[in-house]
Structure 1
Amino acid sequence: MNEIKSMIIHPYWLYTKLHVEFSLPWWALPTFACYTGKILVDCLYEDNEEGQLVRVRSSYKGIAREVFGQKWGGKIVNSAQLIELLMTCILYVVLCGDLMIGSFPDGPIDARSWMMICGLLLLPCGFLKNLHHVSTLSFWCMVAHLAINIIIFGYCIGNASTWAWSKVMFRIDLLEFPIALGIIVFSYTSHIFLPTLEYNLIDRSKFTCMLNWSHIAAAIFKGLFGYVGFLTWAEDTEEVITNNLPNPTFKGFVNIILVVKALLSYPLPYYAAVEIIELTFFRGRPKTTFPSVWALDGELKVWALGIRVLVVVFTITMAIFIPHFAILMGLIGSFTGTMLSFIWPCFFHLKIKAGKLAMGDIAYDYFVIFLGFLFGIIGITTSFYALVEAFQIGLPF
């Protein structure tokens, strides 16, 4: 499950262009995300007759059912999770096109065509049978991830003598910060996996400590990465930081590694999304409307493979028609991210733990809910407007 979280939060190299001004709200978000992660897991437990905490719920869906009702609770959370997972898949395809056009800007193939080419390489994902195959691909993804970090950090530090210290401003840009906010929120939307992560810990009492240190480490590393990247390229920083590399050969080599990493990242959210679709719609009558995707011998039916491939095709198609990666990422984070990571955990905490919370905890929960709605509305509005404007004025993909 640590692997799952690292896959969800990995695209931090994209912060640098939109995150020109570093400010206190940036550092507050990991704090809020860490807090809501703790209270979400707290909602899994109830006191028994002896006053001991007992785990009575097993998932985010189970908590939602307790609050929203058995009929709608699971559907609401599943819908939000499915949207986020599918959009994550779309973002990986868009990223591949962005990286390839950055490597070959004067080539005969445009960004959308690169997305289609890279997307075709993802069609075999429809034949993934279990998480063992997915975890193997994710392992090699992490290898590429570490290699890219070392390369980019090394390059930036190697150019420390030309760093633009005077360009860094500690203030909020009201026009750009909402989009950056959505990107940052998106990188902390791992709450859907936290109940499973906590359940699989050898010592569950250390969950809080683990969550604290993981968010501290993530915040420091992401902030440092974006800061060093901006110092190196200042206002010329591209959305994908590797596209700033001046040497075409070196940039092409690094971007190819990133394309491989993005392709290897795709199977994890894709497989999770497919599982939700199959469990929600294809378990067989009377549980679901449609027949089961599994044959009696445990093998996936042929028509079910067609559905899985259609999911891949859907993400490729959406990537081609919505190619502005950073803006789209901000839009997603502002919607599903704020709901899953900020608003719902606090709302569930207030409902499930009603009568057991101190006034300070209640006030803090309402404060985070307020901020979640505020950031969500501002981020969605700003990101959607920026996306429409990008198409209208014909910004390059």
Structure 2
Amino acid sequence: MPGFLGYSSSIAFFFMLYFVVVVVVKKWSIPCPLPHNITILSDAFQISNSSDSDCTPKLFIISSKSGFAIPTMAFSFLCHTTVLPIYCELDRPSKARMQNITNVSISLSFTIYLISALFGYLSFYAHVDSELLLGYDAFMPRDIMVMVVRLAILLSVLLTVPLIHFPARKAVVLMLLGNRPFSWLIHIITTLTILSVVLLLALFVPDIRNVFGVVGSTTSTCLLFVYPGIFYLKIHPGPLRSFDSIGAVLLVVSGFIMGIISFSIIVNAWINDS
């Protein structure tokens, strides 16, 4: 039987599945282009669609916002920290079972990300907001399905918090206190501190893309590209000129380049927007 993390993750997945269904369905509820002489205002953005060119999908759009794309994708697939907690909750833990769970989870996540991103773009085109649900406020502020999906996203985030919080709390305790005996006082203080920091970021950071961009271009690129390559080179007994070692070196170099370029673009975008 799966443990707490398995149940919470499964429920959160179905909430996200409902989110995808709503994004797909609402694509045909938003007219494009909007009728002439109509301008819709919202706190999220201002839209004045009056030409068919605004409704033509483009395969690539290069702008200052492009620097947020790769870090956000890197952050989305950063699941390294959840592997060990999930592995410990398996009924019969094994490397093969964990690999199957990882493959299925990443495949389902990729499918959800792809469908929601595709239909979100086809709904708003150049006016896609960094937080997709905010875009619907301009067209259907009191739509029942959108309001329910907001609640579903809220519950999904709440249910997936333990997946990230458990290893984060463990890492903080190990870094600050080492392998000292378990203490409920330290456990509670660490938990409240981490949750308070997350809450403050959620309340005072105006745009979530800034969080995804910074974290994605720094920690995510390191965990996804740089560290795996370095660890492989450290433990692999083969020569540095072997095919696998060259691949690891390229992984490290590409991770550094990707992180530096993305972070530079993000900082430059902040400077231009200020």
TM-score between both structures, scaled by the size of structure 1: 0.53
Aligned-partner residue type, residue 248 of structure 1 = P
| Residue number in structure 2 paired with 1:308 | 191
| Residue number in structure 2 paired with 1:184 | 73
Take 2:157 and 2:96, find their aligned partners in 1: how far apart are those partners? 35
1:292-307 matched pairs, under 5 angstroms: 292-294=181-183, 300-301=184-185, 304-307=187-190
Aligned-partner residue type, residue 264 of structure 1 = L
Aligned-partner residue type, residue 118 of structure 2 = Y
Take 1:266 and 1:213, find their aligned partners in 2: how far apart are those partners? 20
1:154 aligns with 2:25: yes
1:142 aligns with 2:16: no
Of the three residues 204, 228, 233, the one matched with 2:124 is 233
How many Å apart are 1:278 and its aligned residue?
Answer: 2.6
Of the three residues 225, 237, 240, the one matched with 1:342 is 225
Work out whether residues 278 and 293 of structure 1, in 8 Å CA contact, stay in contact via their aligned partners in 2.
no
1:248 aligns with 2:119: no
**What does the per-residue CA deviation read over 1:324-368, in whole Å, with 9 as the maximum and x for residues that have no partner?**
211221110110001011111011112211316873222222222
Aligned-partner residue type, residue 276 of structure 1 = A
1:175 aligns with 2:78: no
How many Å apart are 1:182 and its aligned residue?
Answer: 0.7
Deviates more, 1:176-185 or 1:361-370: 361-370
Take 2:102 and 2:162, find their aligned partners in 1: how far apart are those partners? 25
Deviates more, 1:327-336 or 1:136-145: 136-145
How many Å apart are 1:183 and its aligned residue?
Answer: 0.3
| Residue number in structure 2 paired with 1:325 | 208
Of the three residues 374, 379, 383, the one matched with 2:257 is 374
Number of aligned residue pairs: 248
Give the secondary-structure state (helix, strand or coil) at the position aligned to 1:371: helix
Take 2:166 and 2:18, find their aligned partners in 1: how far apart are those partners? 25
| Residue number in structure 1 paired with 2:164 | 269
Give the secondary-structure state (helix, strand or coil) at the position aligned to 2:60: coil
| Residue number in structure 2 paired with 1:259 | 154
Gap regions ≥5 residues in structure 2: 34-51
1:56-75 matched pairs, under 5 angstroms: none
Cα RMSD, aligned residues only: 3.5
Give the secondary-structure state (helix, strand or coil) at the position aligned to 2:206: coil
Gap regions ≥5 residues in structure 1: 4-130, 295-299, 393-397
**What does the per-residue CA deviation read over 1:19-77, in whole Å, with 9 as the maximum and x for residues that have no partner?**
xxxxxxxxxxxxxxxxxxxxxxxxxxxxxxxxxxxxxxxxxxxxxxxxxxxxxxxxxxx
Aligned-partner residue type, residue 241 of structure 1 = L
Take 2:96 and 2:70, find their aligned partners in 1: how far apart are those partners? 32
Work out whether residues 64 and 269 of structure 2, in 8 Å CA contact, stay in contact via their aligned partners in 1.
no
**What does the per-residue CA deviation read over 1:230-272, in whole Å, with 9 as the maximum and x for residues that have no partner?**
1121112222222222222223343233233333333432233
Give the secondary-structure state (helix, strand or coil) at the position aligned to 1:168: coil
TM-score between both structures, scaled by the size of structure 2: 0.73
Work out whether residues 129 and 135 of structure 2, in 8 Å CA contact, stay in contact via their aligned partners in 1.
yes
Aligned-partner residue type, residue 244 of structure 1 = G
Aligned-partner residue type, residue 145 of structure 1 = M
Change (3 A) 1:174 1:359: farther
Give the secondary-structure state (helix, strand or coil) at the position aligned to 2:64: coil
Work out whether residues 182 and 329 of structure 1, in 8 Å CA contact, stay in contact via their aligned partners in 2.
yes
Work out whether residues 192 and 340 of structure 1, in 8 Å CA contact, stay in contact via their aligned partners in 2.
no
Aligned-partner residue type, residue 175 of structure 1 = S
Aligned-partner residue type, residue 183 of structure 1 = T
Work out whether residues 179 and 383 of structure 1, in 8 Å CA contact, stay in contact via their aligned partners in 2.
yes
Give the secondary-structure state (helix, strand or coil) at the position aligned to 1:248: coil
Take 2:166 and 2:271, find their aligned partners in 1: how far apart are those partners? 31
How many Å apart are 1:197 and its aligned residue?
Answer: 6.0
Take 1:281 and 1:159, find their aligned partners in 2: how far apart are those partners? 52
Give the secondary-structure state (helix, strand or coil) at the position aligned to 2:142: helix
Percent identical pairs in the alignment equals 17
How many Å apart are 1:213 and its aligned residue?
Answer: 6.0
1:361 aligns with 2:244: yes
